[in-house]
Structure 1
């Protein structure tokens, strides 16, 4: 299956992958939403009808209208996520990077909270059968297994989980429908008047929005996983998923109304199950809750790959487990999420304690998406009034959810915010360091040095460094080159070669671009190659460069045979050597405190990331890495006084 395959077409496999990857979080919400809304209050019509009405309209306004209909429309050649949305509009306003960074960090932080609470909730359900079961070791073991599965790719994970989630949603709908027939009047909760009455007239009703919000926490991951499943598959499957979810919520409401006037003593989700089915229901619910973690994990991989391309995250190793479009695995992020999840489990230990940290950060991500989406809709459609109305509605809704969720802060919500702040610090450091380096990189006109390069190439008094010398260059203009490259060729150690190649890689906003241009700056000795690669294309420059050289040879545009007389007679190809310049922070800097801290943190983090040669996929046996000092603000030379001997 080609990487350029159109993943947007509806297919059975695509629908199963969608069910298995993106609906785990939002699909397991019936396990705890109604229980959280009722809490320890006395069951009454205002609370039950109002709670279900809030759930219905939250799923409709937030998930269906905002994400499935509108936000999925803002795809970047089939790719989704908050950074993909930012890419579409970033050239219009630079300040939009702020909500993009906030939303990205919030979603990553939620990816550390969601797996522990989902898996813990599932395993704790087994206490119905065995009250003394130790949950923490089991939860950690399951999480470890789940993260180990990621390196097989989301295609494999999705196909494995898809049939299970199909059975799960079918079960939700069937159980809800069976319960609904005992109190069909509950369908009146479709009327938003009941939601208004609960939020305004019920004592402390507004603060119940924190519990209601749990029904839509997986909506942001739905958009992030667009590239894994395709727009059409998500929209088609959501119709089925939402129908099953609503049937189950109404079924739970029907059961609750049959117990009006009493307090809740059992989870209404399990209460609507027939006794003979309970053990099967617990088993399926356990597996489905484990699968709920997959949506956030897959979304995190997508976010990081796009953040790297935007210079918001260090260049870490990206793995493409399959040839299917959109499949991605990021080993370092997988390890980070696993460590974070284990830490959360060990700290909170029980899912009821984790609930305080759950949902708070994702409201920040949703607010950020609303801001970016509003700007996108304005740029694309120029309908200012409608955009203002959209922004006003969703800022009001999501701000209300945020305020209600802030009550969780002292009870554990600070954990997710702390994680988000740490991630935000990394992003801020990386983007600021990028601009500092870019502004201070010195470029020179390459044409001014071509005569010197030709003379060096023909100077027999200097030992030949290599036949073909290839420099990776960051110079965006074809007529320029970094002054450090010229220094490396002529002064550090004269590098005599037959042909000098300069290779530049431009990562495009489109995900799957694979183009190149060749410019001969000198007919025989100096050649520049510019690659344009999409942000989802694996950087295999060694392979791409070889392919380009082969095409140039076949076209008769370049002769790569060795210029040594003895080797040339045998038509032997000369050797190629890549040179990569890696910067380090020079001691000869006199920086203000803020800039010094940023650059020191940048280089500290950089030592744990992929090297330039590994990032570009170069063959390490033919790569020379040269360290060059980065002098940002030179220290003022001391005034030395010479004394006579």
Structure 2
């Protein structure tokens, strides 16, 4: 843990790690941005200088100002990302769940198109040497290998990421300089005048298409915030200065190469400006480094998707899925179901679009949506921090205008392929929204009773030797937020559905809190040494291993003499043998739902299907299945109809 904290301080190690983890996506954008801006257009000074100007000011306003300066302030105990941000502001208004879920789904959809476009753009450089190379199969093989290694953890590979990305950025900056020296006056393009000139001289359609292409230069900005927990603010801010300088130098170098071809219409798929500014002897090395950088960019996005899903599960926005922890490194996790879904999605992108220029058409639309959602949530965070209203309103006006313009510029991509990522995002949204809403509908029908009314009868049952003992220690998971109440179904399970005699009854409640790594608990002795309630307060990034956590709490209580868990069977008690523990999980089965509205019925039907593919409650809470009893009880969603029947004898 101390190691992790050290990386948050400004250091050479933290600087390198931030280069390796954070900047893969934004750092590989020079592979395809200028290619997308120029497209099939005739090269002109207005187009090239305006293109560089737009790139520079997009990186400055969007990445530097919005993310590096403003959004990084919204750290949740050192953690970042859209769900961390949502956890900070969700108490402000219930509707904030909408931008959080939409943004999360858009980021996941982006994770499906980033690996194909970055790896394809890098591999297509080989066509300079081998014009007939079937790049589609090479890209598919690399993507498949990348997803196969996820299950083994990437901590070893991760250590190499930083130095490799340092080489990548330094190489890009140096290659840019080798061309800038031929035309140093290209630096005038940083003047916003050229950006405005390009947009005003183009037709409205043309201007929006150019903006859609320019937006590709900032697509990785969301990752800066998402990976805040790995590197810390100071390292991200310092490393971004270096990254931005290298990126701008490379774009300026590409601009010089393009200006040397003023008046031509280039086939930029055959002559990618990124590779054209490399010396011929260096090209094969450059392609190799670009491919590794593209794989690193993809890796960062895959890891980000795993973290996003794990947070969504803990915040009850996603079905419970198996989450593995392949290494000891903090934050390292692997979600098998998401891994193979992403793999299938990435291969789908490669097979549908085949070439990186076609993928460019699909890229950027969903990430614009994610950025707009972050803007809304950040404005609420600034309000919470008591920032003056005029500053918040200015922030909102500026970024809703910038991102709204980019969204409009990207809308033309819908028919060219944007439909693919938006469709994926929409499917993910329906899953998250259904899981969240169905839980609220379900909770409406869970009946709670005053627990105090049952203290005496539970104590009597515990001492009633005419009832066979069910377990020495009997543990129930409860969703009751207050220790004064309990679900009526738990009372029914203890007293009526095969009365369960035990020496001690335990009630365990898990509350997911807004702090990412909080691990706290409270103990309430409702009936001393007979009925005990434990409330766990776990952060939304903490693995819910209730089995282990509960055992640790019981050990502490025994040490302090607050509870005796020695078996009461005479033969075992004499030898001080600990009694057995049994968990009872109550699974609510739906019945009769005709008093729900049509939409609610549809949501509950969809929820039932999702339940079939999700982990059971006991697995989701990490319980040892050999000590678990699952009891199915009906969750009545309607008052039973009054039935009349007449006796005739």
TM-score interval, normalised by the smaller of the two chains = over 0.9
Give the Å deviation of 1:636.
Answer: 2.5
User: Structure 2: how far apart are the matches of 1:479 and 1:557?
Assistant: 21
Kept after mapping to 2: 8 A contact 1:47/1:198:
yes
What does 1:578-597 correspond to in 2, within 5 Å?
578-587=583-592, 590-597=595-602
Q: Secondary structure at the match of 2:471?
A: coil
Equivalent residue for 1:285, pick from 290, 312, 318: 290
* Alpha-carbon distance, 1:256 to partner: 1.7
- State the Cα distance separating 1:3 from its structure 2 match: 8.5
Return closer, same or farther for 1:621/1:535 CA change in 2, 3 Å cut-off: same
- Measure, in 1, the Cα distance between the counterparts of 2:183 and 2:297: 30
Q: Which residue is 2:212 aligned to?
A: 210
Match of 2:221 among 219, 222, 225: 219
Q: Deviations over 1:435-479 (max 9, x none)?
A: 112222111111111111111111111111011111111111012
Look up the match of 1:240: 242
> How does the TM-score come out when normalised to structure 1?
0.96
Task: Quote the Cα distance in structure 2 between the aligned partners of 1:259 and 1:547.
Answer: 71
- Note the residue ranges of structure 1 that are not aligned, 5 or more in a row: none
Q: Does 1:613 align with 2:615?
A: no
How large is the RMSD of aligned CA atoms in angstroms? Answer: 1.7
Bigger shift: 11-20 or 129-138?
A: 11-20
Q: Name the CA distance, whole Å, in 1 between partners of 2:132 and 2:319.
A: 45
For 1:328 and 1:598, the matched residues in 2 are separated by 30
1:371 aligned onto 2:376: yes
Could you give the per-residue CA deviations for residues 490-530 of structure 1, whole angstroms, max 9, x where no partner exists? 11111111111111111111011111111111122111111
Structure 1 counterpart of 2:262: 260
Tell me the secondary structure at the aligned position of residue 494 of structure 1: coil
Whether the 8 Å CA contact 1:468–1:575 is kept in 2: the answer is: yes
Mapping of 1:512-551 within 5 angstroms?
A: 512-551=517-556
Match of 1:321 in 2: 326
1:19 touches 1:158 (CA, 8 Å); kept in 2? no
Confirm or deny: 8 A CA contact 1:21 1:295 kept in the other structure: yes
1:149-176 C-alpha deviation (Å, 9 max, x unpaired): 3234454342232222111111001000
What corresponds to 2:336 in structure 1? Answer: 331
Aligned position for 1:482: 487
User: Does the aligned pair in 2 maintain the 1:125–1:286 contact within 8 Å?
Assistant: no
Q: Does 1:644 align with 2:640?
A: no
SS of corresponding position for 1:471: strand
Matches within 5 A, 1:491-502: 491-502=496-507
Whole-Å Cα distance in 1 between the matches of residues 300 and 386 of structure 2?
31
Distance 1:454 1:62 in 2: 63
What is the distance in 2 between the residues matched to 1:71 and 1:321?
Answer: 31
User: Matches of 1:566 and 1:593 in 2, distance apart?
Assistant: 60
The structural deviation recorded for 1:61 is: 0.5
User: What is the deviation of 1:587?
Assistant: 4.3
Aligned runs of 1:407-556 on 2, under 5 Å? Answer: 407-556=412-561
Q: Match of 2:310, SS?
A: helix
TM-score, normalized by length of structure 2?
A: 0.96
Shift of 1:318: 2.5
In structure 1, C-alpha distance between the alignment counterparts of 2:550 and 2:346, rounded to whole Å = 41
* 2:85 is the counterpart of 1:81: no
Distance 1:274 1:642 in 2: 97
Partner of 1:349: 354
Query: In the superposition, relative to structure 1, how do residues 134 and 258 fare at CA in structure 2: closer, same or farther (>3 Å)?
Result: closer
- Structure 1 residue 602, shift from structure 2 partner: 0.8
Q: Deviations over 1:227-277 (max 9, x none)?
A: 233222222211111111011011111222222222224221111111211
Q: CA deviation at 1:554?
A: 1.4
Determine helix, strand or coil for the equivalent of 2:605: helix
In the aligned structure 2, how far is the partner of 1:36 from the partner of 1:580?
55
Cα deviation, residue 17, structure 1: 2.7
